[in-house]
Structure 1
Amino acid sequence: MNEIALQIADAPLDETVVRIALAGALGMFLGLEREWSQKSAGIRTFSLISLLGAVFTLLVFESEIGETLLVLGGLLVIVQGVLLAVQGLLSADEAGLSLTTSVSMLVAYGVGVLVAAGFIIEGVTVAVLSSLLLVLKRELHEFAWGLSHEEMRSTIEFSILAFVIYPVLPAKVTAEVGGIEIPLEPQVIWLMVVAVAGIGIANYAIVSTYGGRGIAVTGFFGGLASSTAVVGTMLDHVNQRPEAASYAVAAILLANAAMAVRNLAIAVGFTIGSGSPVLLEAIVPLGAVILVAFAVAAWTADWGESGPIELESPFSLKNALAFGAVFLVVLVFGSLAETWFGTLGFYATAVASGFVSSAGATTSAVVLYRGGQLGPAEATIAILLATVSSIVVKALLASTSSNDGFRNQVAVYSGLLLLGGAVATVAIVV
């Protein structure tokens, strides 16, 4: 505490003044919406509250009674907020509405404390997010009131997956299989489950609005984030709507196309201006995968049919967890293959990385190529292996579906993608 006090005391005068001014400005920013909504506390009140928090925080480092004043100031804001809430309950015009203003006042006090303590970015972030919540009151209420029971349950389940379970998982663990130690990343594996759930929710919203065409949007843009996770979403989609299997197949193909676009952008974009020749060798094979995927997707589904598609729920927690289990098994076998291949370890690493994210293997190959450790042919082969691995693992995951038509089509069309990329590669080599 003494060291911090000395740093504050030795800080330039203008730095302290700027923090106080920023605290007041952020308080005004928070109070702007309350003023516009004609609440009992507005711009001046909120600005003064933030300034009070900033001044008392600075006194913590300068005076023995600073901490007492800081706590007392917070209590005074809480008391004032309670009085406003009671006034709102007794008033016919503002019944039930003053509670938001009361809490906002406490947030303004906290913003002043954060800014004065040196947490500038954090204070600005809290102020902006709080103001956004105030402004979007109507939209947020309409969204919440419009949720069905299934949608509400799915939202809560997704929140538990993303914000409760994920943070407590260890980053890395080591598992032993047959005397071989396999490094695993539980957070990465669970992140795949979260990705499946998140893409499922996005798919639900888009498909409910745009029908079959929405699945194409889910497939391509979901593929840019995680093409493998798209398969988990489509498995759930087909379970709910077997007659929409052709759209789900097209979505997986478009996810493969997005994955190839992303890898090609990394391969070419990160070698421009690097001092090494641009990795043009990757353009033809990856370009062939992209073109074939788009062509087959356009042919397999009737995109002229844009009628609504009713889904039972945004996503299935059971299916998301099952997908995560299958993904874990694939990852373990990929790690074992990397160990068994020995001298071909780098290529095996690219294959195993493709199970998780082909972007990681592509980036690694490009970095090694830029550094001179890999030649253009070796880097291109590693990128292609990761891309092929990603396509194959999606076909394997799709094979777990109980819908024969869906899994057979994914297998056949995935083979076409691989064949198109192979033919293009041979044509260039020859």
Structure 2
Amino acid sequence: MNEAALQIADAPLDESVVRIALAGALGLFLGLEREWSQKSAGIRTFSLISLLAAVFTLLALETALGNGLLILGGALVIVQGVLLAIRGLAGEGDAGLSLTTSVSMLVAYGIGALVAAGFIIEGVTVAVLSSLLLVLKRELHEFAWGLSREEMRSTIEFAILAFVIYPLLPAETELHLGVLTIPLEPQIIWLMVVAVAGIGIVNYAIVSTYGGRGIAITGFFGGLASSTAVVGTMLDHVRQRPEAATYAVAAILLANAAMAARNLAIAVGFTVGTGTDILLEAVVPLGAVIVIAFAIAGAIADWAESGPMELRSPFSMKNALAFGAVFLVVLVFGSLAETWFGTLGFYATAVASGFVSSAGATTSAVVLYRGGQLGAAEATIAILLATVSSIVVKAMLAATSTNDAFRNQVAAYSAVLLLGGGAASVLIVI
């Protein structure tokens, strides 16, 4: 008896037991917000629903009877959700809240099934995102109600580009230019276009909501949405309020940091999970630009100041297609320059394209690196050159100001960023 008890105590937990426990915990986590909001279904209900789904899923994987039980369990959850929704419509509660609780119960059931089937990360992701949507109810409603017709149209157009056009594109193709053949990945190229546009939309929303609360948000997140808009807005501020020159300079520096961070995200993010090595070489030079920009902005800015940011929506069908066209032209001319003149030819193309779109030059370098046409060091230097040329553009725009202090500070600190980027390039070459 004692030996048997010791064997049971020493035996490791079965993997199925761990999955059941995790399913219950995730259901409890999802039901926490419903309980806090004092809804009809709370922690215990959601946890039991996830446990039920986990048990039925495990039975479905091991026995023939489990499939029927899994379907029956899902049907029962749907029926319970319908009853809650009907009660809300009948006036016994808020119809919208009842519907949300009903859908959340079905999500909890799905989470339990995912975890039990071995999709642990997927189940955790669904639980976290669902809980976040529940918690951010007020903020999401305020954002949706505050959208203008133009912004709503832009959002729909973006969804069409992301979810309709992307699946229709071929995974791989070739562009034939005489004797030269350029390999292309249309889906990856379009995904990069969508990612850049998506970053602009998200950060446009952040700037629209919190733009007047601090220069850190307006400068950095405004730079992600449209760094040129940041420069234009700061020019207006300085013209109207000359004493605002210091924080206006800081805003432009933070916009440069945001632009470099966006390029770094593209360089690293689109080389993860591919057959090529992750482009970690870009971390040092672009990281140097980001750190230097933040350090200078932190030292010179009067953080008590704040000002509104009036940005136009950064996305439209026209803008997306224009970016795609610029990107394709940069990619083709970059490939031609690299073929005819070697790496130096592509570097020159990266500098020129950076004046138009550093994101386009960055995505071009990443695609060529993924295709094996550029090495890690060459792709990194091209990305850095595009970033540097974008910094120069902002300095040139700031030079149009009639405020000498503002104009000189932007030029001086931009030179510091250029020196930092140049030093990082030397490190990459060495």
Q: TM-score, normalised by structure 2?
A: 0.64
1:67 aligns to 2:67 (yes or no): yes
Displacement of 1:28 in angstroms is 2.1
**What SS does the corresponding residue of 1:175 show, helix, strand or coil?**
strand
The count of corresponding residues between Structure 1 and Structure 2 is 361
**What SS does the corresponding residue of 1:313 show, helix, strand or coil?**
coil
Displacement of 1:384 in angstroms is 5.0
Asked if structure 2 preserves the Cα contact closer than 8 Å seen for 1:58 and 1:116, the reply is yes
Question: Which residue identity is paired with 1:357?
Answer: T
Asked if structure 2 preserves the Cα contact closer than 8 Å seen for 1:89 and 1:95, the reply is yes
Question: Which residue identity is paired with 1:91?
Answer: G
Displacement of 1:101 in angstroms is 1.4
Displacement of 1:80 in angstroms is 1.5
Displacement of 1:311 in angstroms is 3.7
Asked if structure 1 preserves the Cα contact closer than 8 Å seen for 2:260 and 2:290, the reply is no
Asked if structure 2 preserves the Cα contact closer than 8 Å seen for 1:23 and 1:116, the reply is yes
Structure 2: 5+ residue runs without aligned partners?
1-11, 240-247, 268-280, 354-360, 370-374, 402-406
The superposition leaves residues 77-131 of structure 1 with CA deviations (integer Å, 9 ceiling, x where unpaired) of: 1112111211222234334421111111111111111111111221122122222
Q: Which residue of 2 is the match for residue 29 of structure 1?
A: 29
Of 366, 387, 392, which residue of structure 1 is paired with 2:384?
387
Q: TM-score, normalised by structure 1?
A: 0.64
Distance 1:38 1:419 in 2: 53
Distance 1:67 1:203 in 2: 46
Q: Which residue of 2 is the match for residue 225 of structure 1?
A: none
Which structure 2 residues correspond to residues 7-406 of structure 1 after superposition, within 5 A?
Answer: 14-166=14-166, 168-190=168-190, 191-192=192-193, 194-196=195-197, 198-199=199-200, 201-203=202-204, 205-206=206-207, 209-210=210-211, 213=215, 216-218=219-221, 222=224, 233-234=226-227, 251=252, 255=256, 259=260, 307-341=307-341, 345-348=342-345, 356-357=361-362, 387-392=384-389
| CA gap 1:184/1:316 in 2 versus in 1, 3 angstroms | same
**What SS does the corresponding residue of 1:61 show, helix, strand or coil?**
helix
| CA gap 1:54/1:294 in 2 versus in 1, 3 angstroms | closer
The superposition leaves residues 302-338 of structure 1 with CA deviations (integer Å, 9 ceiling, x where unpaired) of: 9999543434434343123213212221221110011
Displacement of 1:154 in angstroms is 2.6
Identical amino acids, percent of aligned pairs: 55
**What SS does the corresponding residue of 2:14 show, helix, strand or coil?**
helix
| CA gap 1:25/1:209 in 2 versus in 1, 3 angstroms | closer
Question: Which residue identity is paired with 2:176?
Answer: E
Question: Which residue identity is paired with 2:339?
Answer: T
**What SS does the corresponding residue of 1:310 show, helix, strand or coil?**
coil
Distance 1:288 1:37 in 2: 45
| CA gap 1:385/1:418 in 2 versus in 1, 3 angstroms | farther
Asked if structure 2 preserves the Cα contact closer than 8 Å seen for 1:20 and 1:116, the reply is yes
The superposition leaves residues 346-384 of structure 1 with CA deviations (integer Å, 9 ceiling, x where unpaired) of: 5556666776329968xx8xxxxxxxx99xxxx6x9865
Question: Which residue identity is paired with 1:323?
Answer: F
390-399 vs 62-71, greater mean Cα deviation: 390-399
Asked if structure 1 preserves the Cα contact closer than 8 Å seen for 2:28 and 2:46, the reply is yes
**What SS does the corresponding residue of 2:175 show, helix, strand or coil?**
strand
Distance 1:116 1:56 in 2: 9
Distance 1:135 1:292 in 2: 34
**What SS does the corresponding residue of 1:174 show, helix, strand or coil?**
strand
Question: Which residue identity is paired with 1:180?
Answer: L
| CA gap 1:290/1:108 in 2 versus in 1, 3 angstroms | closer
Q: Which residue of 2 is the match for residue 272 of structure 1?
A: none
**What SS does the corresponding residue of 2:182 show, helix, strand or coil?**
strand
**What SS does the corresponding residue of 1:323 show, helix, strand or coil?**
helix
